[in-house]
Every structure is written in C-alpha cells, then in structure tokens.
A and B are shown apart, each in its own frame.
Chain A
Amino acid sequence: MRDTLYLAWRYLAFHRVKTAILVGAITLIVFLPVGLRVIVNQSSRQLTARAEATPLVIGAKGSPTELTLNTLYFSSDVPARTTYAAASEVADTDLAQAIPMYVRFRVRDQPIVGTTLEYFGFRGLKLAEGRQMAVLGEAVLGSRAAEQLGVGPGDHIVSSPESVFDIAGVYPLRMPVVGVLEFTDSADDDAVFVDVKTAWVIEGLGHGHQDLSQPEAAAGVLRREGNVVVGNASVMQFNEITPDNIDSFHFHGDLSDFPLTAVVVVPPDQRSSALLQGRYQTAELSQVVSPTEVMDELLGTILTVEKFVIAGAVTVGLATLATAFLVFALSLRLRRRERETLFKIGGSRAAVATVMTSEIVAVLAVGVLLALLLTFLTQRYGDVIIRSLIR
C-alpha cells in the first residue's frame, strides 16, 4: 500500500498546478460558508457580551448605533458631542454610576479613550505593568495598543492630528505611558486610556503657558485692560505636560460645558435603570441607549446578510464542486490507457484503483483539512479581525 501511494503522490506532484487549483477550490468551497458562520457566531457572541456588560449609554441625540460602536468599540465614527454636565446630571440623580467617555482622538491606529478611574473598575481591567494614571497627561495602554505602538511604562506617545491641515485646532500632545493593562480579549486591549481632562487638553480646551501676569511674559502680552491680560499669538502652548509646567495647566470655562462622546451609566438594579430611561424619553438633546438592543438589531441585520451570503457561497460552492468532479472524471478518462497498462502488466485491483482515485481522495482530504485549519484560525483570530473592522 505504501508503494502504491508513492505512485499516487508522484502523480499529484507531476500535476502540481492542477492539484493546487483543485485543492484551493475545495478549500474555499468548504471554508467560505463554514468560516463565515464561525465569524458571525463569534462576533455576535462577543458583541453581545460586551453590550450586555454595558447597561446604558447616554449621549447626544443621533444614531444609536454610532453612539454604541464609538462607546463600546471605540470606532472612529465620532457621534455628536454631549457635555460633561450630562454625566453630572446622572450622578446627581443617585440612580446610577456615571462614567464619562470622550473617544475622539487617536494615537496612530489606536483610539484614545478619555475617561475616569471608574471605567477600570467597571470593566474589571487590571494592570500588568506599571501603575494607574495619576497626573494629567498620563496614559495607560491596553495590551495590544502597547504592542502595536511598541511602548511600555516610561516611554512616550504622541496623539495624532485630526487632519493634515489642523493648525489652530487639535494639536499633538506628548504623553508618558505609565501603565499597561492585562490582556482582556476585548476592545479595551487596543485603547490608549487617558483622563478625560487630558483628552480636553488634546482638544485644546486646557493648556499651560507662561503666567501672563508675570514680568517675564511681557513679550506674550497683547494688551492689558485693567485686570485683564490679553495674550498674543506668540504665547507658546505646551504640547507636553511635565512636572515643570503642570502648575500652569488650566482649563478656561466651565467644565460642565466641556464635551463628551458618551456617558456610560451603570444602574445598580432594574428599577433604577427603568427610572433613568424614563427621564430621558422626552429629552430633546439627549438619548439614552441600551447597547444590548442596538447590538441585537445590528446582529439581526448581519445575520440576514449572512444568510444571503452563505446561500450565495453554497450555490457557487456546489457549482465549483460539480466542476471539480468533472475535472476528476476527465482525468480518469485521460488515464484510461495508464489504467489498461497497469492492468495488463498485472497490477492488483486495489493497487490500480488506488493509483487512479487517490488524486480525488487526496485533493478532497487536503482541501477539507486546509478548510478546517482556516476555520480554526478564524476562530482564534476572528475577534481581532472583527474589532479591527469596526475600528
């Protein structure tokens, strides 16, 4: 049998290209519908889990899907802004914990998540290295963000400009990395966490500069009107918060008016949740969103699309399979003389059959194995693929 298989192997090797194409076709036929199913299954499980872990989200009126994706997955589609006052409002009701979120900026491909310490407790995030953020400007990275950016505690990262032509708007802030979180297999791994106030500094709402009332800063003074000192454009705005300049950092205006992309609301029980949702039913400028509902809708859509795609893939698959079998049949026909020769010189039925059909068996077997391998890989890395698609 081993010797006969050797012959089969030599046949396949001689017809490398044909074999490869056939194997590829079989792999795709099997993998496409299976892989798709695996990814959709996994993603719905994952998306649902994350949504279930996030009871309510409050944001400005607009697309609930956009709000949910930005808050849960830090997608780069930034919803209309709400304000910090919204978080205070929720906190004041004493009905739930309110966690402000400002997810707008990025460090290269990694989203910057401006939030408060409560977020870490809420998501159960633990430090793997370094420490939690303490001072304005410090960043704590998710495990994958740290990998992607190639940094650890002690290194620095710089926020990316929002557009090439941003001169007077959002300017890059250089931030020290003080901690890296443990791997959680969630969107949090890709995030660069900063205090929401740091995010406001990136936006330009807070800054440090020379104290314009001091004599040394005379060059930066445009004019004085009584108590009011007006700075001119030469006043250099720091793009890094250091122990030397942190004393000068401040925010202009009322923090309540400062922007947020969302407020994550964590009610302790159903009753509080219902009460809160009731209050926002008639709100004109805000919306309260249940991520579970949004995700269910989104998944419903995905599943419908998936059904169509699978139907398509299966149809094409069957056609391809039929073609493959046609190729096998033709191949057998072409090898008729070979079969006769083997018969004539005394090859056993088993040996002749093996030599003739192992092409088919091998192609099918390898094709299916490769499809299984790809499916396994999809299962392993599916989450990452889905999350990178959302971002």
Chain B
Amino acid sequence: MIRIEGLRFRYGEGDFQLRIPELIVEPGTTTAFIGPSGSGKTTLLNLIAGIIRPETGRVETRNVEVSALSDPERRRFRVTTLGLVFQEFELLEYLSVLDNILLPYRIHAALDLDATVRERAGALAERVGISDKLDRPPRRLSQGERQRVAVCRAVLTDPPLLLTDEPTGNLDPLNRERVLDILFDYVRESGTTLVSVTHDHEILPRFGRVVDFRNFHSFGERAAS
C-alpha cells in the first residue's frame, strides 16, 4: 500500500530532518507510528498523504508516486483515496453533523454527491450511534461524538487507506475505546489499511505493527521491519 524510499525531509532551515531509507506498509494492515513528539510522525503522515513533499526520495501510496504529483493531483488523490482523522476532530462549526460527514463530496468535482452517498452516510451515522443528532452543529456534541462524526467523514468515500493522527488524543478512556472499536471494526470488515500516529502506548496492542520513530530521526537510520 505504502512504499517509501530514500526519503529526506527538512522543515525549512531548522535542525530537524526526517530520513527514511525505506518503509513499506502492506495493504490491509494496521500500523501504529509511535515516538516522542517532534520525531516526525505527523510529518510522515503528511508526506504519505501528499500534504507536503520530500526534499529527496519517493513516496508511493497505492502505487501512485505521490511525491511527484502536482498540487491539484495530490488534492484529488487525497479526496478519492484517503480518509483522514485528526486529533482535534477538525469539523466545520457551521455545518450540521450530516453536512460534516458529507463534506468530502462537496469540495471536489471528482466526487459526486448522490442518493447512494447520502444513504451510506446515514448508515455510517447509525453504526457509530449518532444518527439522532444529524441536524446538530458540532458545538452541541460531546468530544466522543465529534470524533465519531470525523470517522464517518473519513470513511464515507470508502478509502483504501485510512490515516489517523492521534485519533484518541483528546478523548477520555471510555470514548477512546469506543472510537478505537469503531475504527478497528471498520478496518477489519472492509480490509482498509490503517496507519495511526499515536502517543498512547496503551492502544498499541490493537495494532498489527508498530513503527518506532526513534529510528528515523536525524540520528538513526535503521529501517524497522
């Protein structure tokens, strides 16, 4: 699903540099990226998504060399192939729950919002237990509910790759488990590849593979297996 080769990325003039000689993520797997903050986990996620581009090296996601695409191509790639879940949920405050879920279909011509999509959105909402709150604005939801909405949004397009950045970072333990259950159930059913950045060692057992980023920052170059 993901292949990274000879990657080098530096944020501007700073000291920090991310170097990944090689990293492969097989389709259908669940992978956790852990490491201390500032070690480049989110950066890698962004590189995989094509949100940023490396100095050198190749990032190939689902056989597409994302690092070589133009900005419009990368946007299109993201909206059709990826699902993203963020630590701070990143819902639009002025949209209802339903409109938040449907958001990807309204921001790119490549996606067509039709009845099937709406049905799927309804089904997803039901599945995560928020179908009675479809008309509400995010501010009237609890933290857990908001993240569940974000998950629905992320998987609405049925993406082959789901990238989550500290998805449970802002949740209490109960909601954390709930959201993780939703994610892993979904992933298991649909065969979606899941890559999660996380701080939380307690959730690591759920993942099939753990990549420790201490190996990847400027001082280390050993590839994980």
Binding site for B on A (CB under 8 A): 3-4, 6-7, 10-11, 13-15, 337-338, 341-349, 351-352, 355
A-B contact pairs, 5 of them (CB 8 A): A341-B86, A346-B75, A346-B79, A348-B72, A351-B107
Known: A4-B107, A344-B84, A344-B90. 11 other contacts (CB 8 A): A3-B106, A3-B107, A7-B95, A10-B99, A13-B94, A14-B93, A345-B79, A346-B77, A347-B79, A349-B72, A355-B107
B108 contacts A348, CB within 8 Å?
A: yes
Give B contacts to A, CB under 8 Å: 49, 51, 71-72, 75-80, 82, 84, 86, 90, 92-95, 99, 103-110, 113, 137, 153-154
Chain B residues within 8 Å of A347, by CB: 75, 79, 104, 107-108
A11 and B51 CA atoms in complex are apart in Å by: 25
Q: How far is the CA of A6 from the CA of B96 in the complex (A)?
A: 12
Task: Please name the 10 residue pairs, one residue from A and one from B, whose CB atoms are nearest each other, closest first.
Answer: A346-B79, A346-B78, A347-B107, A14-B94, A3-B106, A351-B107, A341-B90, A348-B108, A11-B94, A346-B75
Question: Is the Cβ of A348 less than 8 Å from the Cβ of B109?
Answer: yes
Q: Looking at the complex, which one of A6, A10, A337, A343 makes contact with B75 (CB distance below 8 Å)? A: A343
Residues on the A chain within 8 Å of B80, using CB: 346
Once bound together, how far apart are the Cα atoms of A4 and B79, in whole Å? 15
In the complex, which residues of chain A have a beta carbon less than 8 angstroms from the beta carbon of B153? 345
By secondary structure, the A interface counts as helix
Nearest Cβ in chain A — how far from B99, in angstroms?
Answer: 7
Bound Cα distance A6, B93 (Å): 15
Residue pair B95, A352 in contact (C-beta under 8 Å): no
User: Number of contacts between A and B (CB, 8 Å)?
Assistant: 77
Query: Contacts of B94 on A, CB cut-off 8 Å?
Result: 10-11, 13-15
CB-based contact A344/B93 at 8 Å:
no
Q: Which residues of B contact A341 (CB under 8 A)?
A: 86, 90, 92
Question: How long is the Cα–Cα vector from A348 to B72 in the complex, in angstroms?
Answer: 7
Partner of A3, one of B90, B92, B105: B105
Question: In angstroms, how far is the closest chain A Cβ from the Cβ of B83?
Answer: 8
Cβ contacts under 8 Å, B95 to chain A? 7, 10
Q: Given A3-B113, A10-B94, decide whether A345 and B107 contact each other with a Cβ distance below 8 A.
A: yes
**Shortest Cβ distance from residue A331 to the other chain B in the assembled complex, whole angstroms:** 12
**B86 contact set on A, CB distance < 8 A:** 341, 344
Contact B78 A345 (CB under 8 A): yes
Question: By the criterion CB–CB under 8 Å, are A344 and B49 in contact?
Answer: yes
Choose among A10, A346, A352 the residue with the greatest number of B CB atoms under 10 Å from its CB.
Answer: A346
Q: Which residues of B contact A11 (CB under 8 A)?
A: 94
Flag if B72 contacts A6 (CB, 8 Å).
no
